[in-house]
Amino acid sequence: MTKRQAAAFFLGGTGIFLVLFLALTVHSHTRFPELTNAQNLTPEVLGGKDVWHRESCVNCHTLMGEGAYYAPDLTGITALRGEAYLAQFLAEPTRFYSEAEHRRIMTNPGLTPEEIREVISFLEWIGEIHNFDWPPRPILVSGMAFSGTPAREAGSPASGDPVALGEHLFRSSPPACFSCHSIAPGVVLVGPSLAQLSVRADSVLTDPS
């Protein structure tokens, strides 16, 4: 290959890939409204975005893989946890996690009820973005690990163990029982705590009065 041919090959290849890059860029921009559900950008969602940035949530959490990777990625947290759980958690995070047990704890951001609703709306909008299953890492949350909840080794529902099957159903979404009920004594979310439910039920059936 002569120098003239090499130069032509380089310039031609660069031009082709430049045109391809520009075409893909234009195509991406034409699909942004569809992929990001731009029509659902309400003032409440934008308010939640402002709270997210003001409180520097990205310093610990990630959204769609972008952030500090210190705390769980929250891309799909609303579908995983539900609005009721998140509202209670954001109001008082220390009720859900123990620093001694989990070695880290989320500080209370001191959000107002309105700000909490805005943050949840923002996270719900994030969860509706068609991100082609990104990030590939699973969301790591320890679930209903309230202080005072007895630890139990998790079993497989496929093992036939009725306790493991019950726990699997309780923590699955749907039905998302954990979004409204805790299993720790005295921890009331939207619904009552289910701690010692069988004991209380037996007491009521034995003495209905």
Q: In this predicted structure, what is the pLDDT of residue 150?
A: 42
The two three-digit tokens of residue 126, written as one number: 């994030």
* Same domain, yes or no: 28 and 80: no
**pLDDT of 42:** 94
Judge if 87 and 109 occupy the same domain.
Answer: yes
Clarify whether residues 118 and 61 are in a common domain: yes
- pLDDT at res. 149: 41
Same domain, 9 and 53: no
pLDDT reported for residue 192 = 78
Shared domain for 43 and 129, answered yes or no, is yes
Give the pLDDT confidence score for residue 146 in this predicted structure: 40
Looking at the structure, tell me whether residues 86 and 175 fall in a common domain: no
Domain span holding position 124: 37-143
What pLDDT score was predicted for residue 141? 52
CATH number at residue 85: 1.10.760.10
Question: How many domains are contained in the chain?
Answer: 3
pLDDT attached to residue 93: 86
Residue 124: its pLDDT value, please? 93
Q: What is the pTM of this model?
A: 0.58
Q: Which pLDDT score, from 0 to 100, does residue 186 have?
A: 67
Q: What is the DSSP string of the chain?
A: --HHHHHHHHHHHHHHHHHHHHHHHHHHHHHHHHHHTGGG--HHHHHHHHHHHHTTGGGT-EETTEE-SSS-B-TTHHHHH-HHHHHHHHH-GGGT--HHHHS---------HHHHHHHHHHHHHHHTS--TT-S-SPP----S--TTPPP-----GGGT-HHHHHHHHHHSTTT-GGGT--SSTT--SSSPP-TTHHHHHHHHHH---
User: Could you tell me the mean pLDDT of each successive run of 10 residues in the chain, 209 residues long?
Assistant: 89 95 92 82 95 92 82 85 88 77 76 96 91 63 43 54 78 64 68 78 72
Assess whether 89 and 132 both reside in one domain.
yes
pLDDT computed for residue 151 by the predictor: 41
Give the model's pLDDT for residue 28.
Answer: 86
CA 187 to chain centre: 21
pLDDT of residue 22: 96
Do residues 80 and 154 touch, judged by C-beta distance below 8 A?
A: no
Same domain (yes/no): 63, 136: yes
